[in-house]
Amino acid sequence: GENVEQHPSTLSVQEGDSAVIKCTYSDSASNYFPWYKQELGKRPQLIIDIRSNVGEKKDQRIAVTLNKTAKHFSLHITETQPEDSAVYFCAASKGNTPLVFGKGTRLSVIA
């Protein structure tokens, strides 16, 4: 089955700097790659997603890139703010299969 690896497990950045979180997946047939943000004590919330027919997608300060050949995708957060501090999860799936999540990245934005 699908396996998703996520790096780094923790990341600290200064406010205003950029943050990049990377994920690799094992199943070349996977075609949907969402990112979820989980604030402390709260539920995971979808922040952005990308499908395999697209190489990049942006939404304000966040962007996701996908490299199907290398089977990896990344989350980019620019101009980080303290409220960006959270655990971020990447995930992958194909067709009707359930999402397989990475183990998460704890992002700390230092003011």
Partner 1 sequence: DSGVTQTPKHLITATGQRVTLRCSPRSGDLSVYWYQQSLDQGLQFLIQYYNGEERAKGNILERFSAQQFPDLHSELNLSSLELGDSALYFCASSAGQGARSPLHFGNGTRLTVT
What phi, psi does 84 have (nearest 5°)? -80, -10
End-to-end CA distance of the chain: 41
Residue 106, CA distances (Å) to 7, 19, 31, 59, 63 in order: 10, 11, 25, 21, 18
One residue of 34, 73, 77, 86 binding partner 1 per CB under 8 A: 34
One residue of 7, 13, 20, 97 binding partner 1 per CB under 8 A: 97
Query: Is residue 32 a contact point for partner 1 (CB under 8 A)?
Result: yes
* Of residues 72 and 94, the one with the C-beta less far from partner 1: 94
One residue of 21, 24, 25, 44 binding partner 1 per CB under 8 A: 44
